[in-house]
Chains A and B, each alone.
Chain A
Amino acid sequence: MVGIRTHDLRKVYNSAPPLAAGGTFAFSTARGKKAPKNEIVALNGLSLNISSGEIFGLLGPNGAGKSTTVGILTTRVRPTEGQAWIGEHEVWREQVAVKRLIGVVAQRPNLDFSLTAREILLFHGAYFGLDSRARAERADELLDRFKLRERAEQMVRGFSGGMMHRLSIARAMMHDPQILFLDEPSAGLDPQTRLLLWEIIREYNQRGKTILLTTHNLEEADALCQRLAIIDHGRNIAMGTPSELKASVPGGFVLRLRFGRQSPELLQRLQGLAGVREVRAHEVASSAGKRGADAGLSDINSIDVYADRGGSLISEIANLASAASVELCDVHISEPSLENLFLHHTGRSMRE
């Protein structure tokens, strides 16, 4: 059982400005001064603590530093400052021991284009010292699981993006690593394959493996991850289970109520309940549609209550309703979305 830890990770990329952008020219004009450096701070003091056996998600917008974090944890990126551990091994110092424990799916497909799909799996197994029988069995198993059996003997050059991606995931699982890193695992997959992937990830996790995945898909993070860290500008801005995180947002719950009839008085009372931020009433467009103005339909009324608690409000609402002798027909509680959460913590929408 192997967990993941990072302490105050910082990564500054130094990318030289391209010549076309006046890089050489700048030298002659800015004499005496140092040539301007093109530094990009990708991580700025990131600390994480991921237990073994967990599906952990890194969530954040483009450029937040997710891939850089994965890169550092998988020996592919050298941290500028700070440390990272896989189990008891410090990643940068004990690279070989770390590489034995991990399987990695990079964001961009990086398959060995000189080989066929099966050979990619077989050689990967060989790099990890699997004997030839174990290799062949495992390769067949994974080719089946990822529905790549018919294409197994073909060169991967001709694969579609999604097929390459599936093969990358199969390859990472080939040596049965203790920790699986998946950088945007469902990018470019069709909905059906995405579901298959989720199932495979959960199954793998049930065998006691730790999984770290990155995503900017809120739905996926919510559906798959046991805990999440929200990353922005190279910092960890929030961490917890999806529901914990969502509960941390005030007014993040939406209770969708349907009553037997309209009652302005009840609406007022609802507003007065502790924790309720806003109450919105609107008529339900029933099958009768346009005839909604008719008396028969207007008595079916729907109310959205925005509040910072969910289930605990129900009994109070039910009490209010019975006091006003209004029938409570339907209740639906929707938890706050991660989108709201991001907005709450950063003051801007994820898609900005």
Chain B
Amino acid sequence: MNWKTFLALLGRDAHVARRNFIPLLLQTFLQPMMFVFIFGRVMVSSGYMPAAYKSLLLPGIMAISMVFTGVWAVAMPLIAEFQFTREIEDRLLAPIEISWLAIEKVIFGTLQALVAGLAVIPMAWLLLRPVEFNLHSPLSFAFVTLLVALFSSCGGLALGCSVDQAHIGLMFSMVLTPMIFFGCTYYPWSALAHFPILQKIVLVNPLVYASEGLRGTLVPQFPHLSLLAVLVALTLFDVALLGVGLRQFHSKAVS
């Protein structure tokens, strides 16, 4: 491991992100902002939703925002850079094991996902006042948030190295969208009690643990999965996705 090279790789991504700051900002925050506004404000103040829904919704939006940002931040550049133009080649030739390049992408994506997730909180606070946070254990919140961010960027790595340019649309409509709708983002997992089979099936969806984990640490007054289950599941998903992602990265990088 070679720190100078690793930092230079991070520096390159930071530089490119800085250059694309405005589009990045819009892409990260516009969607959660609209969500918060429509569901939390319009629906609630018109009386179609109870006021408590605002607080219930918040962790879900945070989870969506993080997953979208993390996957997007890692997968999209990888897909583009592994294309015919092989933009990544120069970095593959940098004097460092190529796995570190993948890890650098994951770290950078994790940071972006963290920013996107944490920014939802002040945004919600501004648009939805009052919201009832109940941050009883900041440490477990921080831990869950970190695991969610890691999950999203590792997922981005695995997807970005498995999907080619022609199938980006498919990736969003077949993977991300169902994941979000069946990810307990707009409702707590316990709300699926009337659909016992579905309730079991959605447990394979990592986003369930992300939403429920954030719900449990941010607004624990609502029903949620046990924190232990969430931590174990998210850790397993993180490790598995990182493993798959690294393997796919290698097979893309070397012919």
Residues of A within 8 A of B (CB): 13, 71, 74-78, 95-96, 99-100, 102, 104, 106, 108-115, 119-120, 123-124, 126-129, 171
Contact = CB atoms under 8 A, between A and B. Distances in A.
Given A112-B87, A113-B85, A127-B96, 12 more contacts: A13-B255, A75-B92, A75-B93, A75-B254, A95-B97, A99-B94, A106-B89, A112-B12, A113-B87, A114-B16, A120-B90, A127-B9
A123 B255 contact: no
B90 A112 contact: yes
A74 B93 contact: yes
A76 B89 contact: yes
B5 A127 contact: yes
Contacts of A123: 8, 11-12, 15
B91 interface: yes
A100 to B, nearest CB: 5
A96 B2 contact: yes
Given A95-B97, A96-B96, A99-B94, A115 B16 contact: yes
Contacts, number: 82
Interface string B102-142: 00000000000000000000000000000000000000000
B194 interface: no
Contacts of B95: 96, 99-100, 127-129
A114 B18 CA distance: 11
A104 B8 contact: no
Contacts of A76: 89, 92-93, 254-255
Contacts of A171: 90
B167 interface: no
A126 B255 contact: no
Contacts of A96: 2, 95-97
Contacts of B93: 74-76, 99, 102, 104
Interface in B1-21: 2, 4-5, 8-9, 11-12, 15-16, 19
B200 interface: no
Q: Max chain A CB contacts within 10 Å: which of B86, B97, B255? A: B255
A119 B96 CA distance: 20
Interface in B185-216: none
A311 B254 CA distance: 50
24 contacts: A74-B93, A76-B89, A76-B93, A78-B255, A95-B97, A96-B96, A99-B95, A99-B96, A108-B86, A109-B85, A112-B90, A114-B87, A115-B15, A120-B90, A123-B8, A123-B11, A127-B8, A127-B90, A127-B91, A127-B95, A127-B96, A128-B5, A128-B94, A171-B90
Contacts of B86: 106, 108, 110
Contacts of B91: 112, 127
A129 B5 contact: yes
Nearest to A108: B86
Contacts of B84: 108
Contacts of B255: 13, 71, 76-78
Nearest to A102: B93
B166 to A, nearest CB: 12
Nearest to B13: A114
Nearest to B6: A127
Contacts of A99: 93-96
B3 to A, nearest CB: 9
Interface string B165-183: 0000000000000000000
7 closest Cβ pairs, A-B complex: A126-B8, A127-B94, A110-B89, A110-B86, A129-B4, A114-B16, A100-B95
Contacts of A114: 16, 19, 87
Nearest to A129: B4
Interface string B1-43: 0101100110110011001000000000000000000000000
Nearest to B97: A96
B171 to A, nearest CB: 18
B98 to A, nearest CB: 8
A57 to B, nearest CB: 22
B200 to A, nearest CB: 33
Contact of A110 (B2, B85, B96, B254): B85
B162 to A, nearest CB: 15
Given A96-B2, A126-B8, A78 B89 contact: no
A78 B255 CA distance: 6
Nearest to B100: A96
A112 B94 CA distance: 13
A110 B90 contact: yes
B9 A77 contact: no
A115 B97 CA distance: 23
B249 to A, nearest CB: 14
Interface in B39-71: none
A119 B255 CA distance: 28
A166 to B, nearest CB: 15
Contacts of B85: 108-111, 113
